[in-house]
Every structure is written in C-alpha cells, then in structure tokens.
Amino acid sequence: MKEMDESKITPEDFLRGCETPLNEPIILKVAGANSKQDTVARLSLAIMLSLQEHGVAILRCIGPPSIANKDKAFIKAREMLQSWTIGYDLAMTCCYKKVDIDGNILTAEEARVFAIPSSLIK
C-alpha cells in the first residue's frame, strides 16, 4: 500500500480536487474486526487523498466492525478538513449493494464521501 502523508495535502490542492474530479476513484475496502490498530487513521488519509484527486471517496464495508471503522474514519477525515479549510465540510451517503466475494453473494454497505459548503449543513 502506498504510504500516505497528510502534510503533503494543502487546502488549495484539496479544494481543486473537489471542484474538478478527474475520474472514478477506486473503491476503498474497509477492514473489520481483524484489522490493524492504525486502520482508521490510514483510512481517513485515504478518504482525503481520494477527495483531493477525484472529488469523492467510495468506501465498501461488509459487517458491523468495518462499518464502525468507516464511521470513525469519516469523523477523523472531517476533523482534518475542518482544520485545513474554512467553509467546507464532509457529507456521506450510504446504500446497500450486492457483491460477489469468492463466489458468495453478500450485502455490503457502500458509502460516498464528498465535500460540500458548510453553509448547507445546519
């Protein structure tokens, strides 16, 4: 996995990425119960990098532990954005999707995270 450094992302770079998405981002598969201790921190940085490059981050979760990790990473990414910029916040929409994993059809939660003006959130 590519090493991520949040100090390399500037607010200007982040906002430029949100205004002009380049292409569809990869789906970030969220680890669950057997994940490493720094999973949430790494996922929050991956969210920010995807937002910077594509204007949206797509996360896929299977099972309650991965959904909890997604929620924690979203909160951490939101805190990062608020410390870097004024006037923007993160929003997330979720839906259920059927996915095929090793021949088994499972229900996964898919979330899309994107930046919006803070004035839209009350």
Query: Could you read off the pLDDT of 28-66 as tens digits, one per residue?
Result: 999 887 777 788 999 999 999 999 888 899 999 999 999
Cβ-Cβ contacts under 8 Å for 71 (sequence gap 6 or more): none
> For residue 23, what pLDDT is reported?
67
* pLDDT band for position 122 (cuts 50, 70, 90): low
pLDDT at site 35: 72
Read off the tokens for 24. 């569809």
* Per-residue pLDDT at 1: 36
Give the percent of the chain with pLDDT over 90. 47
Per-residue confidence (pLDDT) for residue 13, from 0 to 100: 52
Element (H, E) at 119: none
Q: Is residue 98 pLDDT above 70, yes or no?
A: yes
| For range 100-104, the mean pLDDT | 90
How far apart, in whole angstroms, are the C-alpha atoms of residue 81 and residue 14? 9
Q: Rounded to whole angstroms, how far apart are CA atoms 101 and 8?
A: 35
- Span 84-103, average pLDDT: 90
The b-or-e profile of 53-74 (16+ CB within 10 A means b, else e) is: bbbbbbbbbbeebbbebbbebb
The pLDDT value given to residue 101: 87
Domain 6-120: CATH superfamily is: Alba-like domain (3.30.110.20)
- Quote the Cα angle for 78-83-86, to 5°: 90
Task: Tell me if 117 sits within 8 A of 91, measured CB to CB.
Answer: no
SS (H, E, C) 63-103: CHHHHHHHHHHHHHHHHHHHHHCCCEEEEEEEEEEEEEECC
Report the pLDDT value the prediction gives residue 20, as an integer from 0 to 100.
46
Q: pTM for the complete prediction? A: 0.76
